[in-house]
Amino acid sequence: MSHLLHLEWQWGSSDARVTFTRIQLNTLDNVEIRPYRAGYVDYTTRYTELTQGQAYTLHAEAPAWTFAGPGPWVRVAAWLDYNQDGVFTASEQIGEISTYSPFELPFRLPLNAPLGATRLRITIQDLTQPFYRHNTCLPDYVTASTEDYSVVILAGAAAPLAGFTIDQNPSCSATVQLRDTSLVTPNSWRWEFGDGATSSQQHPQHTYAQPGVYTVSLQVANRYGQSRVTRPNYVQITQLGQGPRPTNCRPVGGDIVTHGFWEISQLQTTAWTYTNPHRLAGWQDETCTVAALPLTAGTTTGLSLTDPVTSVHVAFWVQAWLDSNDDEVLDAATERIGSAVLLGQSQTGTLPLLVPATVVRNRPLRLRVSWQPTTFTDGSPCARDEVNGQVRDFTAVVTEPLAQLAPSSGASEWQVWPTPAGSEVHVMVPHAPATAQLQVYDTLGRLVRQQPLASATGVPYVLDCHTLAAGLYILRLAGYPGQARIQVQAK
C-alpha cells in the first residue's frame, strides 16, 4: 500500500445515530461495530481489488431512524481518489443518495483509472443539520460520520484506446506539453509530432523549430493489442519563445455551477489590465492571449481584483504563484508570491505580489492567480474548488529595479553614441571579446535581439536600429558585467 496517500480531515465527534453498520464493496465487507461518536474511522488497512472498466455497487447500511415526519433523514456519498493525488474532487465522486437504509451506489471504474492503491471515502450526514454536499471533510459541528478504505486498481484485460490532449494550443512559446489520455492501460507509447521528431514517453514535451500547424499522432499498446489516433493540423505554433514554459500541472477546468458568487471581472496593476472574458470558466490559460504583466525583482506590486457581484456578501481566498526559477514547476511552498482573503460584494481588493529578488529576469514566466471561496483549504497551485473556484494563468516578465539599470562604471564601462539614436548606434565595451553576445531588451524586459558583438578590440560595433521601434532599450553582454541604455528615435 505504499502508494496510498494520506488526506487530512476536519471532523470531530458526531451523533452515534448517524453512522454506518456495514460497508460492502466487491470482496470488502465491514460489519464491525463502530466506535461510539467517532465521527471518523480509518479503515484503510482493509482493501479490495477493482478492475478498470468493470461495474460495481457500493452497499452501505446504517441504523434506522424513528423520527416522526417526512424522511429520509440522511445522505450517503462516496469518492474514489482516482488520480491518487490525495484530494477528493467533485469529478471523483462515485455517487450519492438520500434514502432509507440500505444504500446502494452503483458505479463503473473508469478505463483510464491509474493502476495501484488509492483511497475510498464514504460519508453519511444528517440532513436536518447544516448541509455540506460538496465537502468531503465534514466539520465537527454537523452530525455525520466518515470512513476511509483502500482500493487497489487492476488493469483491464483489453487493448488500449489511444487518446491525448495538449495543455496550451495555440502555443506562443514553441514548446507544447502533450498528455496521454488513453483508455485501459498502455505500457508503450510512440508519438509523432509532425515535424519528423518522435517520442516514447507517456506525457512528452516537445519544442518546434518553426511556427506553423502540425499533425500529431499517438500509437499505444499493451499485451492485448494496440491503438492509434491521428489529429491533423492539431498543434498551432504562433510564435517562438514569447510565452512561458508549460507547467507541471493545471487545475481542473469546466464551468462554475453556482451563480458566480466568487467571480472576478477584472485584474489590474498600474501598468497592466485583464478583463475576464470567461465569466464561468473554471480555469483558463491566458499566457498567449493577454499581454505580459511587467514585474520588478525584489519589489511588491499591488494586483487589484474587481468583484461584480452585488447581491451576495462573500469573501475570496486569492493566491498567486510565479515560476520564479523557470523550471516549469509551480512550487506551492517557495513560489507563492501572494495570498490574501478579500471581501467581495462589488468591491475592489488588492493582492500584494512580492516578487523574489532571486527570480529569473527578462524572459516569460508563468504566473498563476486563483480565487476560491474561503471554505476551500487546499493551498496547492494545482487545485481548484470545482464548484466555485476560478484560476487564470498569465505571462509575467520580471526586470531589474530601476536603480540597477544605470550604466555601469569602472573597467567594464560602456561607450554608446549617439543617443538618442536614429538608424544606428555605436557600441564599445572595453575588454569584451568579439564573440560576446550583445543583447537588446525592451522596457518590459523582453529580449528583442541577440547577436555576437563581432568587432575587434578598440573598434566600435555598429548596431542597426532600423527594426527597433522608437523607445528606450537596455544593452547587455551575456555573461559579462555592465549594461547601457539607448534611446531610439522614431524613423
For residue range 130-173, what is the model confidence (pLDDT) as tens digits? Answer: 666 667 887 766 788 999 999 999 999 999 999 999 988 899 99
CATH T-level topology, domain 407-488: Immunoglobulin-like (2.60.40)
- Which pLDDT band holds residue 256 (cuts at 50, 70, 90)? low
Q: Give me the pLDDT at residue 312, please.
A: 54
Q: Give me the pLDDT at residue 38, please.
A: 77
Q: Is the pLDDT assigned to residue 197 strictly greater than 80? A: yes
Cell of residue 357, nine digits: 529578488
Domain with CATH 2.60.40.10 in the chain: 22-154, 164-237, 266-402
Cell 509532425 appears where?
A: 194
- Closest to 394 (Cα-Cα) out of 368, 370, 361, 371: 368
Give 191's strand partners. 199, 218
Query: Cβ–Cβ contacts within 10 Å for residue 228, how many?
Result: 12
Contact predicate 77/103, CB 8 Å: no
Q: Give me the pLDDT at residue 81, please.
A: 94
Average pLDDT, integer, range 33-60: 92
- Which pLDDT band holds residue 67 (cuts at 50, 70, 90)? low
- Which pLDDT band holds residue 473 (cuts at 50, 70, 90)? confident
Domain with CATH 2.60.40.3080 in the chain: 407-488
Of the listed ranges 219-223, 259-263, 345-349, 454-458, the one predicted with least confidence: 259-263
Q: How far apart are CA 109 and CA 50, in angstroms?
A: 8
Contact predicate 218/199, CB 8 Å: no
Average pLDDT, integer, range 275-296: 88
SS3 92: helix
- Which pLDDT band holds residue 258 (cuts at 50, 70, 90)? low
Average pLDDT, integer, range 110-127: 92
Q: Which CATH class is domain 266-402?
A: mainly beta
Q: How far apart are CA 32 and CA 35, in angstroms?
A: 9
For 438: left if phi > 0, alpha if psi spans -120 to 50, otherwise beta; the answer is: beta
Q: Give me the pLDDT at residue 10, please.
A: 43
Of the listed ranges 55-69, 82-96, 332-346, 404-418, the one predicted with least confidence: 404-418
Contact predicate 72/174, CB 8 Å: no
Q: How far apart are CA 11 and CA 15, in angstroms?
A: 12
Q: Is the pLDDT assigned to residue 311 strictly greater than 50? A: no
Percentage above 90 pLDDT, the chain: 47
Average pLDDT, the chain: 84
Cell 547577436 appears where?
A: 451
Q: Is the pLDDT assigned to residue 51 strictly greater than 70? A: yes
Q: Give me the pLDDT at residue 393, please.
A: 95
SS3 358: coil
Which residues have a Cβ under 8 Å from the Cβ of 327 and sit 6 or more positions away?
none
Q: Which helix (H) or strand (E) holds 133?
A: none
Q: Give me the pLDDT at residue 250, please.
A: 86
- Which pLDDT band holds residue 344 (cuts at 50, 70, 90)? low
Q: How far apart are CA 85 and CA 93, in angstroms?
A: 14
Average pLDDT, integer, range 246-267: 73
- CA neighbours closer than 13 Å in the CB half-sphere of residue 419: 17
For residue 240, count CB atoms less than 10 angstroms from its CB and return exposed for 0-12, middle for 13-18, buried for 19 or more. Answer: middle
Q: Give me the pLDDT at residue 62, please.
A: 92
Q: Give me the pLDDT at residue 339, please.
A: 93
For residue 202, count CB atoms less than 10 angstroms from its CB and return exposed for 0-12, middle for 13-18, buried for 19 or more. Answer: middle
pLDDT tens-place string over residues 392-449: 999 999 988 754 444 443 335 678 888 788 888 888 877 777 778 888 887 767 778 8
Contact predicate 421/489, CB 8 Å: yes
Give 117's strand partners. 152
- Which pLDDT band holds residue 14 (cuts at 50, 70, 90)? very low
Of the listed ranges 205-214, 326-335, 342-351, the one predicted with least confidence: 342-351
Contact predicate 185/160, CB 8 Å: yes
Average pLDDT, integer, range 109-133: 86
- Could you give phi then psi for residue 183, rounded to 5 degrees? -80, 160
Q: Does domain 22-154 have CATH number 2.60.40.10?
A: yes
Architecture of domain 164-237: Sandwich (2.60)
- Could you give phi then psi for residue 90, rounded to 5 degrees? -60, -35
Query: Cβ–Cβ contacts within 10 Å for residue 487, how many?
Result: 13
Q: How far apart are CA 141 and CA 440, in angstroms?
A: 61
